[in-house]
Copies of this chain bind each other. A is one copy, B any other.
Amino acid sequence: MRVKGKHCRTVWMEGREVFLIDQNQLPFKFKIIKSSSYKETCRAIKTMLVRGAGAIGAAAGFAMAQAVLEGKREAGRREIEATRPTAQNLFYAVKRVYNARDAYQEAQAIADEDAESCKRIGEYGNKLIKKGARILTHCNAGWLAFVDYGSALSPIYAAHRKGKRIFVFVDETRPRGQGARLTAWELKNEKVPHAIIPDNAAAYFMSQGEIDLVIVGADRIAKNGDTANKIGTLEKAICAKRYGIPFFVAAPTSTFDLKCKSGKQIPIEERSREEVLYQTGITKRGKVEKVLVASPGSIAKNPAFDVTPAELIAGYITEKGILTPKKFQTARHPRL
């Protein structure tokens, strides 16, 4: 994607250094961070400076390459795998780089494949989008969540470039607000007409006939098609089912976890309650402030993901084409 007229990936590696867009500072500041060691890159993954399935995968691959170059192959793998438990791409990338002859080359290949897969997801997904379509998306499965293009947003960008006059409903995506902050920022950057809505409002717009299609990303897809994605995805899928709105998951096949028989086996990360109780934003004076937005002394629960059962999913938009859940479950797996 282009930012301020310059092409830019979300994460890349040069020599022993990994470069990342600091997503915690977006949408208020666009800043590139340099990480000089695998430990620093681990911290970037853990603090969600880099986040999103593909971007985590690529960053983890680069971190593994850094660990190998630092002579910390075993310790590095353990530490990197401990950063985020849900994202399949992380385990996929770490394993590939760990087993490779040339760790650096392999990490670069993973990043390139991610970008290429996402581009193809856009081309396949575009076929599902009719002229004038009003599309709901949840969280950020855009360019920022991958190395380039994105998964759920890639078909949206492709349709927009074809002049289909689409409109995107952007779920705010509490508690971290990746929709309001990152997806809205990306769509504005690409001049795609959109509006942010509270997560609570998706069913309302569905009930009013204002949403034609839902496309979301995925953090891990089990063998039976059950899909772990950002908390709230399950609610949107249940509501879409009620209103007969097609619900698609867009993800490169690196997100499929064949060892995982069903969604019940996917571990769900519980994140800090602070993410729910506090909100960070920018004041009118341009200062970043963290404010308590809940009743002092109350606790919060903060599961970061949920699992959407395959029966609620109309299809999976992958770099190898659009798979229906049935096809997905009976056919030879695309990665095999």
Which residue numbers of A lie inside 8 Å of B, CB to CB?
26-28, 169-170, 172-175, 177, 180-182, 184-185, 187-188, 194-205, 207, 230-232, 234-235, 238-239, 242, 268, 276-284, 289-303, 306-307
Q: Is the CB of B184 within 8 A of A294?
A: yes
Q: Is the CB of A293 within 8 A of B180?
A: yes
The distance in angstroms between the C-alpha atoms of A188 and B298, with both chains bound, is 7
Evaluate whether A282 and B276 lie within 8 angstroms (CB atoms) in the complex, with A174-B198, A188-B298 already known: no
Where chain A touches its partner, the secondary structure class is: mixed
The 5 closest A-B pairs by CB, nearest first: A200-B232, A281-B291, A27-B295, A184-B295, A180-B294
Q: List 11 A-B contacts (CB under 8 A).
A: A28-B292, A174-B199, A177-B294, A196-B295, A196-B301, A204-B234, A205-B303, A207-B307, A279-B293, A281-B291, A283-B292
From B172, B204, B239, B283, A291 is in contact (CB under 8 Å) with B283
Set of chain B residues within 8 Å of A230, measured between Cβ atoms: 200
Q: Within the complex, what minimum Cβ distance (angstroms) separates A262 from chain B?
A: 13
The distance in angstroms between the C-alpha atoms of A197 and B275, with both chains bound, is 11
Nearest B residue to A288 by beta-carbon distance? B291
Q: Within the complex, what minimum Cβ distance (angstroms) separates A2 from chain B?
A: 17
Nearest B residue to A177 by beta-carbon distance? B293
Evaluate whether A293 and B281 lie within 8 angstroms (CB atoms) in the complex, with A174-B199, A232-B200, A238-B203 already known: yes
Set of chain B residues within 8 Å of A268, measured between Cβ atoms: 204
Evaluate whether A200 and B291 lie within 8 angstroms (CB atoms) in the complex, with A174-B174, A298-B184 already known: no
Q: Within the complex, what minimum Cβ distance (angstroms) separates A209 from chain B?
A: 12
Set of chain B residues within 8 Å of A177, measured between Cβ atoms: 293-294
Q: Is the CB of B292 within 8 A of A281?
A: yes
Nearest B residue to A277 by beta-carbon distance? B196
Q: Is the CB of A172 within 8 A of B27?
A: no
